[in-house]
Amino acid sequence: MSDGCKRRPDADAVAAARHVLENVLCMQSTDLLLILAEPSTLSIAQVFLRSADSEALDMLVAVLPAGAGATVRLPSDLERLMMERSAFLAVTERGFTHTAARRRACENGARGLTMPRGTLELLRSPAVSADYRAIARAGETLSRALDGTNTVVVRSATGTDLTFDVSGGRWFAERGLCDRPGDFGNLPGGEVSIAPVDAHGTLVVDGSINPLGLLEDPLELTIEDRRVVGIRGPRAGELLRFLESFGEGAFNVAEIGIGTNPRADVTGIIVKDEKSLGTVHVGFGNNSNMGGFSRATKVDVPVHIDGVVRSPVELWCDGCLVDPRLIFEEGR
């Protein structure tokens, strides 16, 4: 363990970690928890270990060597170990959400959370300590309302006008709450999403997008046949080069997602930004390990990024205007 990992974590971070174990992962004394970390995130794993000092929990930390690429690839022996645990928590620099290992573990009954590019600042954020039972109810209500929808249109005052074909699919409610076998979510959690069958139009990302973070100037993406065919804006070249490094599959429109966490805000941390209540985000790249059900053709590429529309959006589903905030405000 590094010297940085041995430093005493602050009380707020420890309290937040305890909240996650008790009220998000809903850990019981019979659970076996595996924490996946990388050298850059080892201090976060230490906080979770300390938060459970007084609990009778079986917790094991596996430290992965730093590696290249946008996603974590587990060695076979570690993946077998993961299959034996009842819960997992991946606090990694690289992404683990959209991987086959994560999907197989959940299919085997493990429930778990991923916290890509996690920091102690993120752990202490209000979005992590939110009421996930309320978020779970809201997400399930919204996903049920959207199931059976054929067409989704997203419009914003900044120029987004994007149409998705989502016919034949079931939306995934990322409840944040992981209290049932096979449950999965990000930390912080709270979104409803689906992999579109098709997409076309204009997306103006005026919030954040990984790997660029918070944007000072919007990026305009032109989409045809579920593929990004043009990027405009001051940082368009950076995004283009990043996507090109993963090949054609990275230009795939992988997801449309709707944030359902009322305590999340947009600050440039994508895993939190995309959960902000009322925002819409569009994912690109890998769509092969998403939750829910979609008729979309699968694209398996080792990258998944999300662009967040920060400005107020209109979300039209089969011609009906949908406002996710009303679920919290009015329960409908």
| Residue 152, C-beta contacts closer than 8 angstroms, at least 6 positions apart | 146, 163, 164, 166, 196, 256, 315, 316, 317
The confidence score (pLDDT) of residue 6 equals 45
Q: What is each CA distance from 12 to 117, 122, 276, in whole angstroms?
A: 19, 11, 22
Sequence spans of domains, the chain: 3-123, 132-330
d(Cα 247, Cα 228) in Å, to the nearest integer? 12
Confidence label for 70 from pLDDT (cuts 50, 70 and 90)? confident
Residue 278 has pLDDT above 60, yes or no: yes
Residue 2 has pLDDT above 70, yes or no: no
The confidence score (pLDDT) of residue 68 equals 75
Q: What is each CA distance from 108 to 34, 111, 234, 329, in whole angstroms?
A: 14, 9, 45, 37
As a whole number, mean pLDDT of residues 2-22 equals 75
The confidence score (pLDDT) of residue 4 equals 40
Confidence label for 52 from pLDDT (cuts 50, 70 and 90)? confident
CATH superfamily of 3-123: Response regulator (3.40.50.2300)
Residue 200 has pLDDT above 80, yes or no: yes
